[in-house]
Chain A
Amino acid sequence: MNRFEDEIKAAFEAPKPKRKEEFINLIKPSKMSVGRFLLSQMGYIRKSTWIVFALILICIILAPFVLDYATLWFISALMPILAMSLVTESARSERYNMAEMEAATRFSLRSVIMARMAILGGINLIAILIAAPIGIKYCSFNSFSSGLFVVTPFFITSSIGLSIVRKIKGQAGFYAVMAETFVVSMLMLLNKNSALGIVPPESVRLWSIVTVVAIVATIKQGIGMINNLEDITWSW
């Protein structure tokens, strides 16, 4: 600050407030707990997302009665759809060009998106925890391999999906994620037959590497997406 700016500051010197300490000691800011905040945000997740989640859950539970030993690959093929709901819901503001408007609400857009991701991540985890034991029970592979077949498509779809919605804005990004989901789903169904599958089910090491890479990529993309949210405030 130069001397002129110092003088401007001095000219705005106000008399000392009389009741400051008294007020600060009295005031107890109402603090909203993280749980209450998450609960409040749950209501803003679209009904279609909950319906997709419920349908997937019903399919997972009913699959063993209809498909028997193909259950594991059917569940694997459903996982990308679960991931798609997470990705598209997280990028909803961008898809409808609502980010700027949502940024003007009482909560920061960053906290809202983080809450949305946490809620959807939580319900997806529940779905995976239900799906994995069912898949493991109805297949000839060991528990670890079967678990990988359930988890991997979810993280592959979410990592690529998040990267797509960060690069392609609006409706086009949504369609690209749908296409990606379809491809990953189909690949999982093809894996049922070892000869057609791109990654053979027997190659546990390769599946493990792919899973770890996909998890790391998902976390990286998720963090990148949240960090980029503040940039939208710049405008002319």
Chain B
Amino acid sequence: MASFDIKEQYDKIYRYCYFKLSDRDLAEDITQETFLKYYEHYDFMSETKSLKYLYTIAGNLCIDEYRRTKPTNLDEDYEGPIHEDRVVENVSIRNALSKLTDEEREILLLRYANDVQVSVIGKIYGISRFAVRRKIMAAKENLEKELRKEGAYEQI
């Protein structure tokens, strides 16, 4: 009994895997395996707990995959952002994001790209909401610093 919208979560888990593995097909394979594993074992769960398990399964599967085949940079067939006027800004932000730590990048993806609630992120990492907020703030500050170094922050 899933307590979430599978269509919505499919995209989010896929995005999470894609930015971990940098491979479109592999990310989709892992996304599907995540849901299959989830449905194999978990029932009667609150939404918070379901999301925690989904991200934990996806994260573990990505780590396994990463160990097997070390992925390179993001896909060549990736068309990039849809709006042309944002291309430059996005390239700058992506460059700056690549300089952050894996955890910082992941926490920003979860919070801003996947709209995961702070309490759920706390459960995924096993930390309090207060600690999550602090990590998000720190990640944003570091991202801002990187953007300033590139002189791209003012454009945003």
Contact = CB atoms under 8 A, between A and B. Distances in A.
Given A27-B36, A108-B49, A234-B128, A11 B43 contact: no
Contacts of A5: 112
B70 interface: no
Contact of B2 (A13, A29, A107): A29
Contacts of B11: 17, 20
A1 B112 CA distance: 8
Contacts, number: 117
A15 B79 contact: yes
A32 interface: yes
| Among B46, B123, B130, residue most surrounded by chain A Cβ atoms (within 10 Å) | B46
A106 B42 contact: yes
Interface string A95-114: 00000000000111011000
Contact of B6 (A24, A37, A235): A24
A58 interface: no
Name A's interface SS.
Answer: loop
Contact of B108 (A8, A17, A32, A107): A8
Interface residues of B, number: 55
A27 B39 contact: yes
Given A29-B1, A37-B44, A14 B15 contact: yes
Contact of B31 (A13, A17, A233): A17
A18 B143 contact: no
Interface of B: 1-2, 6-7, 10-11, 14-15, 18-19, 24-25, 27-28, 31-32, 35-36, 39-46, 49, 53, 75, 77-83, 86, 89-90, 93-94, 97, 108-109, 112-113, 119, 123, 128-130, 140, 143-144, 156
